[in-house]
Structure 1
Amino acid sequence: MLDIGARTLLVPMVDTAEQAREVVSATRYPPIGSRGVGAGVARAARWGRVENYMAEANDELCLLIQVESRTALENLDAILEVDGIDGVFIGPADLSASLGYPDDAGHPDVQRVIEQSIRRIRAAGKAAGFLAVDPAMAEKCLAWGANFVAVGVDTMLYTQALDRRLAMFKSASAQPQEKTSY
């Protein structure tokens, strides 16, 4: 992804500071990390035409990790100390399941953990993010201090629009129809 020009990367299921360090290393060029330098002639570098591409890529990358488990919460403070992590995105579905509340990210215990996590992330000077498919939850996360909130999932929004359209035509087809020439 980085070799084709992505400037922001979201890495799921980061549970430990060691995993966070490995992600930082894999996404940064030497001397900061271990990313392969052959990408200096890749699309993102305009096939070798961007001067100082590796330094520029290191500086411009926004690296976000996802905290989605009880283990990640237990290690959150150590994860937040890792240089090169710009922000932490909370994954509510996997997190609620890991906490013993599958399919119930709205459970009060899960909500409390989400709020505390957002506050911890912000206190560490990192950006805090959240995925909210419910507008009320998006508002809560913003009130708790989240810097960015994804307010839907593309495939869910698409299927909801399709369901509304289908319902419109189902109700229209149930009505008696006038005879037409077609």
Structure 2
Amino acid sequence: MDLPKNAFKAALREGRRQIGYWSSIADSCVVEMLAGCGYDWLLIDTEHTPTSIGQTVPLMQAAVPYPVSTIVRPGWNDTVEIKRLLDAGAQSLLVPYVQNAEEAEKAVAAVRYPPHGVRGVAGATRASRFGMVQDYGKRASEEICLLVQAETVEALAEIEEIAAVDGVDGIFIGPADLAASMGYPGEASHPEVRKAVVDATKRIRAAGKPPGFLSLDMSFCREVADAGCLFLAVGVDAISLRQAAAARRDEWR
């Protein structure tokens, strides 16, 4: 059996913009529904949700029949957590709160087997199709896509150094944490935050890496897209559900 291809990673390498959606509800039917909506990628979030590593498996499986890529966000830049998510079959990871090149290098090491990294070796995991992928240990990194989040003032100052780390496939800017870091907690669309995100997006592109972004402010998304963003998330399932439910309530009150 051949190593499964990572369509998302291939698209970024080719410079094709990928539009995504955030999945925060740990329910396979919700993920399956979203997978059929025509997005290029879905983010399964374990950082800001109760979703466990074990729960990510049926969520990823729910998306398999559809032409959509899944990305999993671990709770932290943790070598053990990253290893377990990779063994569970995640091919693309979005690692939060990477502040500098050293932390980016730690994330790279976590997704690579020795001698190029520190990922622990297991013989029969979902990642290797339970041992049926030929030469998985030698070839796994070909299809693993490592995205890192720059989401503080300190991280943005280190954009070029992070982008220069071999093995970093993209840099995602988190506007909520960035806003808090800049002194504007809860104001992710503050004019100064917008300015910082647009500038960072351009710098990431200039450094030769694909920039990523998430916002529910569509004018902000368009501004960042125009600046060169290549993987852009435009919605969050739980928020879409709440907003639709509240709007329907208002119709009938």
The normalised TM-score by structure 2 is: 0.64
RMSD after superposition: 1.2
Q: CA deviation at 1:31?
A: 2.3
More off after superposition, 159-168 vs 53-62: 159-168
Name the larger-Rg structure: 1
Q: Distance in 2 between matches of 1:73 and 1:104?
A: 18
Q: Decide which of 216, 223, 229 is 1:146's aligned counterpart.
A: 229
2:125 equivalent among 42, 56, 81: 42
Give the drift of 1:143: 0.5
- Percent of paired sites with the same residue: 48
The aligned runs of 1:73-84 (5 Å cut-off) are 73-84=156-167
Q: 1:59 Cα deviation (Å)?
A: 0.7
State how far apart, in whole Å, the 1-side matches of 2:220 and 2:246 are: 23
Indicate whether 1:30 and 2:114 are aligned: yes
Q: Residue in 2 aligned with 1:162?
A: 245
Q: Which runs of 5+ in 1 are unaligned?
A: 172-182
Aligned-pair CA distance for 1:7: 1.1
Question: How many angstroms does 1:107 deviate by?
Answer: 2.1
- AA aligned to 1:99 is M
Structure 2 gaps, min length 5: 1-84
Q: Please name the residue that 1:104 is paired with.
A: 187
SS in 2 for 1:151: strand
- Work out the CA distance in 2 between the residues paired with 1:64 and 1:111: 21
Distance 1:6 1:35 in 2: 14
- For 1:130-161, what per-residue CA distance to the aligned partner results, in whole angstroms no more than 9, with x for missing partners? 00111111111110110011001111111112
1:114-125, aligned counterparts within 5 Å?
Answer: 114-125=197-208
Partner amino acid for 1:113?
A
Normalised by the length of structure 1, the TM-score is 0.88
Structure having greater relative contact order (Cα 8 Å, sep ≥ 6): 2
Aligned equivalents of 2:147 and 2:172: distance in 1? 7
Please state how far the C-alpha of 1:164 moved relative to its aligned partner: 2.1
Distance in 1 between residues matched to 2:232 and 2:226, nearest whole Å? 11
Aligned residues: 169
Structure 2 Cα separation of the partners of residues 138 and 90 of structure 1: 12
Which structure dedicates a bigger proportion of its chain to helix?
1
How many Å separate the matches in 2 of 1:84 and 1:145? Answer: 21
Deviation at 1:117, TM superposition (A): 0.3
Matches of 1:83 and 1:8, distance apart in 2: 16
Give the conservation status (yes or no) of the 8 Å contact 2:189–2:217: no
